[in-house]
Amino acid sequence: MNIQRPVTALSLRLPTSSGALEAFEMSAPRNFPDHVTGPLNRVALAAAHVVADPLADGDPWLQPAVDWERTIAYREYLWGLGLGVAEAMDTAQRGMGLDWPMALDLVKRSVAAAKARGNAVVFSGAGTDHLDPAAARNVEDVIRAYEEQLAAIEAVGGRIILMASRALARVAKGPDDYVRVYDRILAQAKEPVIIHWLGDMFDPALAGYWGSTDLDEAMETALAVINANAAKVDGVKISLLDKDKEIAMRRRLPKSVRMYTGDDFNYAELIAGDDQGYSDALLGIFDAIAPAAAAALSALAKDDLATFHDVFAPTVPLSRHIFKAPTRFYKTGVVFMAYLNGHQDHFTMVGGQESARSTLHLSELFRLADRAGLFRDPEKAAARMRAVMQVRGVEA
């Protein structure tokens, strides 16, 4: 991998925290693959975003509209890079703009596209988001909600990611209620599922999940569920942004159960692993850095750790920036990257979330993405950045 990247003549002015504008000279992109066919030694799923329809006649905050053609095309792009797709997750604004009927439509389309490719991997989120947490009376309501989504996804041939439930977090009286719900749902799954433990930094409504605000106590409950149902669990994805907690849990999983890192701050070292194991990946940042992820994972499969770390190292500051607090707004950065790289023709998001990050945030994102060599067409990226800055009052 060529580490030295020549500076091009492209430059633009970007705002700084002092309120001034500074000249920023762009770099040439790194030589990342357009397509990957070789085997990988890690399972890698990208939690993919949806592309909004900017011309839909409706109020974006109230009537989400999706460009289905571009949305599925983006999944084809991820599959072509050797990545699997984690569908209808929070990256796709599930429960944060996309309701259950739209999510199921997305799952149907994605599963059909995966089957048409023959070997494309897609797991889809089953949750309880059609049940208003305030309307949930007890855990039986939560179980019925999970059962409905599980059955609907399996009916179209989908594999399951068992998402965390806001309704369960609200009605559960303690760890035993979590055990009861997960035991019931896992017993019904046709194929092993991925359990998603989403931290409250991503969704404040999930505070105290697994029956405790103490993460060590919560982990004990999660491990009890997994160990009791190991044959029905493909893996567990934890999104706590705490690498030590992930490693501790990883070392206690049954041998048949994978740890899928959801740590968008420390994914490189967690995927590389240590002498006691490693994490596979189910990451929202892989949507934004897919070519780099494909290059790094391909190098790892060839035992080329130097290239693996060389590729991933500059993407980590970008990921930490995109996922900085309030972390739930990370989707804005993910979609902004897709826009800058030409995967969609607009920076419009479901729910109007393009407004969720500041001009300074987007400017720093642009700098970090450039330093990581992620702009496949720097001229197009610069032109689009200037357009967004101009709308926000900056003559870039």
Residue 27, φ and ψ in degrees, nearest 5:
-105, 160
Q: Which is more confident, 214 or 38?
A: 214
Per-residue pLDDT, 19: 87
- Say whether 256 sits in a helix, a strand or coil: coil
pLDDT value at 312 more than 60: yes
Q: Which is more confident, 19 or 269?
A: 269
Q: What is the C-alpha to C-alpha distance for residues 277 and 387, in angstroms, rounded to an integer?
A: 46
What's the mean per-residue pLDDT of the chain?
A: 95
pLDDT value at 182 more than 60: yes
Per-residue pLDDT, 9: 57
Domain boundaries, the chain: 40-305+323-332
32-41, 44-53, 276-285: least confident range: 32-41
Residue 21, φ and ψ in degrees, nearest 5:
-105, 140
Per-residue pLDDT, averaged over 169-197, amounts to 98
Per-residue pLDDT, 5: 47
Q: What is the C-alpha to C-alpha distance for residues 44 and 297, in angstroms, rounded to an integer?
A: 9
Closest CA to 339 of 270, 299, 386: 386
Q: What is the C-alpha to C-alpha distance for residues 122 and 343, in angstroms, rounded to an integer?
A: 20
The confidence band for 131, taking pLDDT boundaries of 50, 70 and 90, is: very high
- For 232-264, how does the pLDDT look when each residue is reduced to its tens digit (9 = 90+)? 999 999 999 999 999 999 999 999 999 999 999
Domain 40-305+323-332: give its CATH code. 3.20.20.70
Question: Is the separation of the CB atoms in 336 and 369 below 8 Å?
Answer: no
Q: DSSP readout, 319-369?
A: HHHHT-SSGGGHHHHHHHHHHHTTSSS----GGGGGGSS-HHHHHHHHHHH
User: What is residue 266's DSSP assignment?
Assistant: T
Per-residue pLDDT, 60: 85
**Residue 105: CB atoms within 10 Å:** 14
Return the exposure string of 164-187: e unless at least 16 CB atoms fall within 10 Å of the residue's CB, then b.
bbbbbbbbbeebebbbbbbeebbe
